[in-house]
Amino acid sequence: MPAPAAEQTPSSSLVLLCAASWALPGVGHLWLGRRAKGLILLVALPLMFAIGLAIHGRLFPPRALTGLFDMSEPLTGLMCLADLGIGAAYVVATGLGYGAGDVRAVTYEYGNTFLIVAGLLNLIVVIDAYDIAVGRK
């Protein structure tokens, strides 16, 4: 009986695969040879993130000194975790000063939704790449 795929794949390469998949959506699938799916994800998720920024969505910042969750506003902490799910795009956008959001804009809530969903979808993509790597898919 052959060894399960999880035993065949070293854990360090799985961590690297998941980190790469988190940092750039679709890269994990490209790494695993799923070219069509990887390219679709590489285009669709950053595009969704960019649309969220373009329609005045807000990127919720992590609380550097008080921890990630502000207990007075737990939903803001959860939205920050969801935004962080998109990976390097979050870091680049916040570094360039994007994602301040404009509450007065009619599209503000739609922008927030695009940003949050892009991050959550990327986290699902990371899990999918992991499942492919260990042979569950």
CA angle, corner 84, sides to 78 and 86, nearest 5? 125
In this predicted structure, what is the pLDDT of residue 75?
83
In this predicted structure, what is the pLDDT of residue 65?
36
Percent pLDDT > 90 in the chain is 74
In this predicted structure, what is the pLDDT of residue 73?
75
The end-to-end CA distance of the chain, in Å, is 19
In this predicted structure, what is the pLDDT of residue 1?
43
Distances from the Cα of 128 to the Cα of 4, 18, 40, 101, angstroms: 17, 10, 14, 31
What is the Cα–Cα distance from 79 to 120, expressed in whole angstroms?
10
- Higher-pLDDT residue of 1 and 114 is 114
In this predicted structure, what is the pLDDT of residue 6?
44
Give me the number of domains the chain comprises: 1
Which residue range forms the structural domain that includes residue 58?
Answer: 5-133
What is the average pLDDT across 99-123? 97
Give the model's confidence band at 9: pLDDT under 50 very low, under 70 low, under 90 confident, else very high: low
Q: Is the pLDDT of residue 63 over 70?
A: no
Nearest alpha-carbon partner for 58 in 85, 90, 88, 87:
90
Q: Is the pLDDT of residue 70 over 70?
A: no
Q: Please state whether the predicted TM-score (pTM) of the whole model is above 0.75.
A: yes
What is the average pLDDT across 26-51? 97
